[in-house]
């Protein structure tokens, strides 16, 4: 089995490559190559058997240059300090690409969270929240859900934080239940934001998204919403896949019926169409491929088989650097993850704004504001790529890093 790539080294290499292109000073490169703050905690909790277990908790805060730090919490046995540091850096760039006033953060617990009982999950999460309380806050660091966490965990953390500070403060965290200060439209935000990017791309290039053929790898939350919204815009979703198999239908898949089938059965197999091995979906000749599953789905080994004319990354890191370089050489546009899947953090920002104002928006208002931000960010990245003759990932990084650097130069004199 090949060794897992070092995510933090990759994140640093990506940053330094663009930093050199931007001719940044050694001081700025040193400052942004590491998180501004890294917290490692011992997190005790009582198991159902009555004994006390101690788990390691982490929170990396990469940047406060443009505002409070923002990023998710993942509870998984494979969480590492370097992974959390990398993810916090990527969150800084993602927030800056769509120009929302946050820096990046990430956190996690090194634990087999799925193996815990519901009561153990709550005791552990609340204990972690008490450790986090001194270093998070609505003007400091605003966590959110990630791997194995959801609105329930966010509600527990918000409640523990309120107990510590002595008053309710829903803006301390996003991804909460709507009844507890969460935002309407948050569940669909990642897939919807991607669809808005794709819509704008085709408006800018061929005139319309109508009639384009789409394959979606990974039919979870982001993949389902991306497929549903693109289909509603007039695109023709011809293939979907999950971890078991893929289904292809040249005439088009009824996305609503496909989602209903997946929710009911847990698999895409059985959706009307031709069954394919899951990896074959990536090789279909379509206008748009949406990798919405795992990282490293397209590598140097399979990239030459990809025939899609546009790739929009719903997942984080679905392309390896080798695949990225191949697409750039062959003129295939990739809308990178820091732009394409930034709808989630954008609506998290909307949730924070609503919490601060104690004034809540309709779902239509949320979606309208999201569309405006995603379309504007797509235009900016497209212009940057054309002006500097670079691929879209490099353009997005140049835009994001440039914004963070300007904030540092104006506030801290770098």
**149-194: pLDDT as tens digits:** 999 999 999 999 999 999 999 999 999 999 999 999 999 999 999 9
**97-140: pLDDT as tens digits:** 999 999 999 999 999 999 999 999 999 999 999 999 999 999 99
Q: Determine the Cα–Cα distance for residues 264 and 246; give it in Å rounded to an integer.
A: 17
Q: Which sign, positive or negative, has the C-alpha torsion 180, 183, 184, 187?
A: negative
Backbone angles phi, psi at 6, to 5 degrees: -80, 105
Residues of the chain within CATH 3.40.50.720 domain(s) are: 189-340
Angle in degrees, 0-180, between the axes of helices 81-97 and 392-412, rounded to the nearest 10: 90
pLDDT for the residue 1: 41
Q: Determine the Cα–Cα distance for residues 162 and 158; give it in Å rounded to an integer.
A: 6
Element (H, E) at 392: helix 392-412
Residues labelled as active-site residues = 106
Work out the average pLDDT over 302-323. 93
Q: Which CATH number fits domain 189-340: 3.10.300.10, 2.40.420.20, 2.60.40.1120, 3.40.50.720?
A: 3.40.50.720
Q: Determine the Cα–Cα distance for residues 346 and 196; give it in Å rounded to an integer.
A: 13
Confidence bin at 295 (pLDDT 50/70/90): confident
Percent of the chain with pLDDT over 90: 91
pLDDT for the residue 285: 96
CA-nearest of 136, 122, 147, 148 to 173 is 136
Confidence bin at 3 (pLDDT 50/70/90): low
pLDDT for the residue 4: 61
At 295, is the secondary structure helix, strand, or coil?
coil
Q: Which CATH number fits domain 7-174: 3.40.50.300, 3.40.605.10, 3.40.50.10860, 3.40.640.10?
A: 3.40.50.10860
pLDDT for the residue 5: 63
pLDDT for the residue 10: 84
Residues of the chain within CATH 3.40.50.10860 domain(s) are: 7-174
The pTM score is: 0.94
């Amino acid at each position: 089995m090949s060794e897992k790539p070092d995510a933090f080294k990759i994140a640093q290499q990506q940053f330094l490559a663009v930093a050199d292109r931007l001719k940044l000073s050694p001081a700025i490169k040193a400052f942004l190559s590491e998180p501004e703050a890294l917290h490692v905690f011992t997190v005790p909790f009582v198991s159902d058997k009555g004994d006390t277990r101690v788990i390691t908790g982490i929170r990396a805060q990469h940047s406060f240059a443009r505002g409070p730090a923002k990023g998710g919490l993942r509870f998984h046995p494979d969480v590492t300090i370097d992974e959390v540091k990398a993810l916090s850096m990527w969150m800084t760039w993602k927030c800056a690409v769509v120009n929302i006033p946050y820096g990046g953060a990430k956190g996690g617990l090194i634990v087999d969270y799925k193996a815990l009982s519901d009561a153990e999950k709550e005791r552990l999460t609340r204990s972690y929240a008490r450790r986090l309380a001194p270093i998070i806050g609505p003007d400091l660091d605003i966590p959110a859900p990630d791997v194995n966490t959801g609105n329930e965990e966010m509600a527990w953390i918000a409640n523990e934080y309120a107990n510590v500070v002595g008053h309710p403060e829903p803006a301390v965290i996003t991804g909460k239940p709507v009844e507890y200060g969460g935002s309407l439209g948050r569940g669909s935000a990642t897939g919807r934001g991607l669809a808005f990017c794709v819509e704008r791309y085709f408006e800018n290039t061929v005139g319309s998204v109508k009639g384009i053929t789409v394959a979606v790898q990974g039919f979870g939350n982001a993949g389902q919403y991306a497929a549903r919204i693109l289909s509603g815009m007039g695109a023709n979703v011809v293939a979907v896949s999950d971890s078991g198999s893929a289904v292809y239908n040249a005439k088009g898949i009824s996305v609503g019926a496909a989602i209903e089938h997946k929710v009911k059965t847990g698999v895409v197999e059985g959706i009307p169409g031709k069954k394919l091995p899951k990896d074959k979906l990536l090789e279909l000749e379509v206008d748009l491929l949406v990798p919405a599953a795992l990282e490293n789905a397209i590598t140097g080994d399979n990239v030459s088989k990809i025939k899609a004319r546009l790739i929009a990354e719903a997942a984080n890191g679905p392309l390896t650097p080798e695949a990225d370089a191949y697409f750039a050489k062959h003129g295939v546009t990739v809308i990178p993850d820091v732009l394409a899947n930034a709808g989630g953090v954008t609506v998290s920002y909307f949730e924070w704004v609503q919490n601060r104002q104690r004034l809540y928006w309709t779902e239509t208002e949320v979606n309208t504001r999201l569309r405006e931000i995603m379309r504007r960010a797509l235009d900016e990245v497209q212009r940057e790529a054309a002006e500097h003759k670079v691929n879209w990932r490099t353009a997005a990084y140049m835009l994001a890093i440039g914004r963070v650097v300007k904030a540092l130069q104006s506030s801290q004199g770098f």
